[in-house]
Structure 1
């Protein structure tokens, strides 16, 4: 297991992008890494771990929160028991400096071997999440909001809506710029949605992993003072439409199942779910 440098970030992001597949369970996406880069390139590099075999990266771990490691595994390595045991051993030993004592969670939604190893070692189920996706082969209905792609002149507005949508958010103009300077943002776009009065009421960032691969919404929010008016559905349709124009094969998102309003919003915008999933919680 190794920790990449900031110079390695483009390679790691491109590798994770190459692993994205329609029909496979959701795993860490370049957009997840790109959104985290709002904290800076050094912070992102410090939150990543790589596992390699014969000089080729086969798994990437992403410390998305203080107690959560999210995994991405090469499609051809998903059933490899040797890799799974190696990764699981590192969770216990080498990652001790990252995961605090007590509660620790591993998001391993792809990779049957790692899932089985964690189960055999007593890792239990954490709270359920609902992954959703929308196929982008056909055109997406237009949004009822006026949509603008965020450039330098709209960054403050983008930040204002984000903070109003997510109380306690630490998003800022400087953090948007750090995100936008990142390698993953070359294949991304921030969108603002305006109502009939010309007020910015919703915002999102959408991320591509390359043409004919699934894209991801990370994040999407409606200003707290403008909810209950269908803006969430409208912004979700705008996000899906933007990803289709970017060449994505499908649009993906995941939300805690307890957030029933978010699940209903995505479903109202034509997203479907294969069912709930759970992460692994350390015994």
Structure 2
């Protein structure tokens, strides 16, 4: 049965989210998560749909990708059922390698594929080389989570406090250079199907200042949850707030039924890796993207 690539449409996004959620498996490599789709949904369903590519066989979605045209990158999620499927891997690579398919540029391109043994092996054998290293981290959610020591306020799709929303936006913009996060983007994100299993957390210190924030994404009970993004306000750093908001995120995912909390950060982010480890995360082996030489 043939494999067909399809560009995303707003009407398809809910199906893509559910497919990607179903592929999240405990103990498997960290790959594109419903939370990655949900975060990008903040730019609008039309914009997200333009980024999405999916591959079907017999009507079933077996792979999905998010294209970043500016960086010549596609981030992949692959169904466990085709992990070792060489025929599927060959068609996937043929679509990515052909610039006429409109996925990657002719003069290079980067593939983030952390799952899919046959596909990763084929990339290696086809001359794609290792790119920037990333460090995945994981914390099991079987044991109780220690109190984070800060007051935590929650924003979910059904409970929106305008003051807390403004604090969420302010901390997000302060935490990440060049951030364009806004209340409008949050509302677009919160209206998405991905956010039905997500929530934003804002941490406040003893003086009532918003000092850190994060968004946590469940893929459903018994599946790994994702922390994306997480940041501490630069005016309040060095006081353990990064660790505190991480613990709050872990506790929220545990409450939502996730089997573990996962995150993946550039290996060069030494301070970030250390903060997650201090919050009980296990540092896993570094992974790299695949770059095609121009």
Do both share a fold (TM > 0.5)? yes
Matching residue of 1:79: 84
Alpha carbons 2:218, 2:224 under 8 Å: kept: yes
Matched, 1:172 2:169: no
Structural mapping, 1:56-135, within 5 Å = 56-64=60-68, 66=70, 67-93=72-98, 97-135=102-140
Alpha carbons 2:98, 2:106 under 8 Å: kept: no
- Residue 65 to residue 229, structure 1, CA distance change in 2 (3 Å): farther
| SS of residue paired to 2:28 | coil
- Give the unaligned 5+ runs of structure 1: none
Which runs of at least 4 in structure 1 moved beyond 4 Å after TM superposition? Answer: none
Matched, 1:272 2:282: yes
Alpha carbons 2:53, 2:66 under 8 Å: kept: yes
Deviation at residue 68 of structure 1 after TM alignment? 1.6
- Give the unaligned 5+ runs of structure 2: none
Residue range with higher mean Cα deviation, 212-221 or 98-107: 98-107
Deviation at residue 99 of structure 1 after TM alignment? 2.9
Residue range with higher mean Cα deviation, 16-25 or 100-109: 100-109
Q: Aligned partners of 2:174 and 2:250: how far apart in 1?
A: 22
TM-score normalised by length of structure 2? 0.93
Matching residue of 1:45: 49
Matched, 1:147 2:157: no
The aligned length equals 283
Matched, 1:206 2:188: no
Matched, 1:162 2:172: yes
- Residue 64 to residue 232, structure 1, CA distance change in 2 (3 Å): farther
- Residue 45 to residue 216, structure 1, CA distance change in 2 (3 Å): same
Q: Aligned partners of 2:236 and 2:68: how far apart in 1?
A: 29
Residue range with higher mean Cα deviation, 10-19 or 86-95: 86-95
Matching residue of 1:13: 17
Q: Aligned partners of 2:108 and 2:166: how far apart in 1?
A: 37
Q: What CA deviation, in whole Å up to 9, does each residue of 1:20-41 have, x standing for no partner?
A: 0001001110000000101001
Q: What CA deviation, in whole Å up to 9, does each residue of 1:187-222 have, x standing for no partner?
A: 000000001111000000000000010000010001
| Aligned-pair Cα RMSD in Å | 1.2
Q: Aligned partners of 1:124 and 1:8: how far apart in 2?
A: 32
- Residue 171 to residue 103, structure 1, CA distance change in 2 (3 Å): farther
Alpha carbons 2:98, 2:104 under 8 Å: kept: no
